[in-house]
A = this chain, B = another copy of it.
Amino acid sequence: MDAQSTRDRIVEAADWLFYRRGFDHTSFADIADTVGISRGNFYYHFKTKDAILAAVIDLRMTNTRVMLRRWEGDGQGPKDRITCFIQILISNQVEIVRYGCPIGGLVSELAKLDHTAQDQATAIFTLFRHWLRAQFAQMGRAGDADTLAMHLLARSQGVATLASAFHDAEFIQAEVGHMCDWVQALEPPTNRNSR
């Protein structure tokens, strides 16, 4: 007895395939084969390929929200929570080395396809951006919290892309170390700030 509905299995397979092969290069036949259903059955659950993409993006949004909330429940300081974010590069390093960043990859591809869902995909980035911004603000860096959030996001993104291009997992580990050091060295609110 599988607790998963067919629809969920389709979305999960599509999520997997969109990450490894890209959205455009993944066909209905690919997804159907992965799920183990007939292509015709597809139309019952999703009218168009774009509908599947929307469902995949929704799934990733939900998963991201859950992950961010989990990090907040660990009861530590903002520096530790930001470190959790950085550490996902390590947790997912095997897949990152092979397929890059799932969010960045999707956003880039949808931009080139001029796809209507590109803003939806970017919203996943925004989720991280706002969460990081909140953490930096809690560190007393409310003034440049967004700048710091974007900076860290960009560095993580670059690390994923380069690690994938050069198939280099050690590079991820080295850069993760630098980013963790950078967070730790950031000055807390207490003393002199510009007013």
Enumerate chain A interface residues (CB-CB to B < 8 A).
20-22, 24-25, 98-100, 104-105, 107-109, 111-113, 122, 125, 147, 150-151, 153-159, 161-162, 164-166, 171, 174-175, 178
Contact = CB atoms under 8 A, between A and B. Distances in A.
Contacts of A174: 147
Identical copies in the complex = 2
A169 to B, nearest CB: 13
Nearest to A172: B154
B155 A122 contact: no
Contacts of A25: 24, 112-113
A179 to B, nearest CB: 11
B125 A99 contact: no
Contacts of A112: 20-22, 25, 99, 105
Contact of A155 (B100, B105, B158): B158
Contacts of A21: 112-113
A159 B154 contact: yes
A171 B146 CA distance: 11
Name, among A109, A156, A162, A174, the residue most crowded by chain B CB atoms within 10 Å (CB to CB). Answer: A162
